[in-house]
Amino acid sequence: MTEHDRLWYPGPTEVSEPVLRAMSGAMIGHRGSDFPVLYKRIVEKLRTLLETKGRIFLVTSSATGVMEASVRNCAAKRVLSATCGAFSERWAEIAKANGKEVDVLAVEWGKAIKPEQVDAALSKGKYDALTLVHNETSTGVMNPLEEISQVMRKYPDVCFLVDAVSSMAGVRIAPEAWGIDVCLAGTQKCFALPPGLTVAYVSEKALRRASEVQNRGAYIDFVEYAKFDDKGQTPTTPSISHLYALDAQMDRMVKEGIPNRFKRHQAMAERSRAWAKEHFDLYAERGYESVTLTTILNNKGTDIASLLKTLKSKHHVSMGDGYGKLKEKTFRIGHMGDWTPADLTQLLGWMDEALGFGK
Ligand SMILES: *Cc1c(COP(=O)(O)O)cnc(C)c1O
């Protein structure tokens, strides 16, 4: 691979050579006989990852496109958006931009959304859908998805829409068993693929809802997606290069062992949190720290821009700044995808050196 800066962002993350090579394969026609073979092979592997026999759509779009589509397809009118950071707030804005009535269940940035808060908010109104970001990539908080899904069982008319963009393939998620209706992820985070493709589990309930709502959109119409999915195809021309990459990456995941992949992410999270607590502090509420990234509270007034500059110029590493209003107040290590605890130890060593620790 050519010399380049290694990406320790919480997405896009570093992409391996085998995946980049897979991406450069010759094109096939998306209506030809080879395509459904590739498509079905990928979907089967994703079903293993997500512990489901249900529908999985492969959408050529960044994740935001499917965040928008899930609101359009699953909510006729009213949406409750649980927010705790920049991405969850954006989902509320997306729903508003699509003409939905949106109520926001807002918790302070850095805190997690608790099941009882979701229960209380849902009991107060009649909602078509709840939007929840599993792993808030701005604050480094991982919301208790499985616990929240227990509460959702009390609200069978509410479609449960989950953005798992920065957690799927890094931590265990079982959308079908947990009663999730849409569970989506862009491939540039824990899948460690180039950006531009989104994977989404879509429940039968979500599809029924989509068949009833008005103006569910044209580009990402779930009903159309299901029709084509039956044939092993996508409604429009997909990024076939991304599908090659995903096919290859899923094989690499199976080879590592999916539970091992999750353990590797957990080990990196623990290493990263220990470093953060030793030198700074964590931005996330205790007990709800993300497993795939660490948002470090810059409680020392360290010049983060200069740290990032040193890492780039000396070690050819690009690491995450604080997101939006958290710039300089925090910085973020994205320990996701194909990175290993040994790689992370090396990175933390470079950070120690740049910050003058351990001297
Ligand atoms: C990165 C990210 C997004 C946005 O993804 P795009 O692929 O840029 O549209 C949405 N939600 C979360 C939680 C993310 O981390």
pLDDT digits (tens, 9 = 90+) for 238-282: 999 999 999 999 999 999 999 999 999 999 999 999 999 999 999
Tokens 């130890």, residue?
345
pLDDT (mean) for 318-341: 96
Atom of ligand 1 nearest to the CA of 195: 7
Integer-rounded Cα Rg, in Å, for the chain is 20
What are the angstrom distances between the C-alpha of 74 and each of 78, 127, 205? Answer: 10, 11, 9
CA 264 to chain centroid, in Å, comes to 17
**Which domains does the chain carry?**
6-12+258-355 (3.90.1150.10), 17-254 (3.40.640.10)
Q: How much of the chain, in percent, has pLDDT values that exceed 90? A: 98
d(CA 132, CA 183) in angstroms, rounded, equals 10
pLDDT over threshold 80, residue 2: no
For residue 65, the ligand 1 atom closest to its alpha carbon is 9
CA distance 15 to 96: 34
CA–centroid distance, residue 94 to ligand 1 (Å): 13
Structure tokens at 271: 């290493």
Instruction: Please report which confidence band the pLDDT of residue 158 belongs to, taking 50, 70 and 90 as the band edges.
Output: very high
Instruction: Report the distance separating Cα 11 and Cα 137, nearest Å.
Output: 9
Nearest CA to ligand 1 atom 14: 165
The per-residue pLDDT for 329 is 96
Contacts of 33 (CB under 8 A, 6+ apart): none
Helical H segments across the chain, by residue range: 17-23, 34-50, 63-74, 86-97, 115-123, 145-152, 204-212, 222-229, 240-256, 258-279, 304-315, 341-355
The mean predicted confidence, pLDDT, of the chain is: 97
Closest to 225 (Cα-Cα) out of 65, 74, 59: 59
Atom from ligand 1 closest to the CA of residue 133: 13
Structure token pair of residue 36: 């459904």
Closest ligand 1 atom, residue 135 Cα: 13
Total H helices, total E strands in the chain = 12, 14
Q: What is the pTM of this model?
A: 0.98
Residue of 89, 137, 183 best suited for mutating to test ligand 1, as the one with most atoms within 8 Å of CB? 137
Is the pLDDT score of 1 beyond 70? no
What pLDDT score was predicted for residue 91? 98
pLDDT for 125: 86
Q: How far is CA 211 from CA 83, 96, 180, 223, 226, in A?
A: 28, 21, 18, 6, 11
Measured by CA distance, the residue closest to atom 5 of ligand 1 is: 63
Residues 109-136 have a mean pLDDT of 97
The dihedral through the CA atoms of 103, 223, 150, 292 has a sign that is negative
- Ligand 1 proximal residues by C-beta, below 6 Å: 11, 62-64, 87, 133, 135, 137, 163, 165-166, 186, 189, 195
CB atoms within 10 A of CB 221: 16
Residue-level pLDDT at 358: 79
Q: How far is the CA of 63 from the centre of ligand 1 (A)?
A: 6
Is pLDDT of 346 > 80?
yes
204-247: per-residue pLDDT in tens? 999 999 999 999 999 999 999 999 999 999 999 999 999 999 99
Q: What is the pLDDT of residues 70-100, one digit of tens each?
A: 999 999 999 999 999 999 999 999 999 999 9
| pLDDT reading at 359 higher than 70 | no
